[in-house]
């Protein structure tokens, strides 16, 4: 039995999550929805616990927490915070992973980018 069980489900009900983005244009948003695996970055140590995490994108329940992380590491996380409304019925898969409020999300980058409802610079208050 794994020390780190991962339960992946299709989004069962609407959920609002936040992810760092590197711009507001459609191409920037789509690029920001690519996993470390897809862009060829080496896996983060936490992604080595289960390779499926390497193929997911990280999102957070708390947008302010993500802003603080992005302010410390804008080149890695992004200079904008995207607010996503993930809804059931679109094949998007999620797993509650990592620290409290951290989610791993799997979907096609273009479809995830289509779930963006707001994009805010990391140094501006979230709406």
Number of Cβ atoms within 10 Å of the Cβ of 61: 15
Task: Give dist(CA 40, CA 72) in Å, integer.
Answer: 22
Domains of the chain, by residue range, sit at 24-121
Task: Give dist(CA 127, CA 123) in Å, integer.
Answer: 12
pLDDT in tens, the chain (127 residues): 456 688 999 999 999 999 999 999 999 999 999 999 999 999 988 788 888 999 999 999 999 999 999 999 999 899 999 999 999 999 999 999 867 899 999 999 999 999 999 999 999 998 8
Does this model's pTM top 0.85? My answer is yes
Task: Look at residues 117, 106, 102 and name the one whose alpha carbon lies nearest to residue 61.
Answer: 102
Task: Give dist(CA 62, CA 42) in Å, integer.
Answer: 26
Ramachandran area for residue 51 (φ above 0: left; ψ -120 to 50: alpha; else beta): alpha
Tokens describing residue 25: 């244009």
Tokens describing residue 58: 């990280």
Tokens describing residue 3: 């020390």
């Amino acid at each position: 039995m794994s020390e780190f069980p991962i339960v992946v489900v299709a989004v069962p009900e609407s959920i609002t999550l936040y992810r760092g983005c590197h711009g507001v244009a459609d191409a920037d948003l789509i690029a920001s929805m690519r996993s470390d695996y897809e862009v060829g970055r080496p896996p983060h140590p936490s992604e080595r616990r289960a390779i499926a995490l390497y193929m997911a994108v990280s999102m957070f329940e708390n947008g302010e927490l993500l802003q603080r992380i992005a302010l410390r590491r804008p080149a890695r996380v992004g200079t904008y915070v995207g607010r996503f409304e993930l809804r059931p019925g679109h094949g998007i898969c999620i797993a509650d992973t990592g620290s409290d409020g951290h989610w791993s999300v799997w979907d096609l980058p273009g479809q995830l980018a289509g779930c963006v409802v707001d994009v805010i610079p990391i140094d501006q208050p979230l709406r």
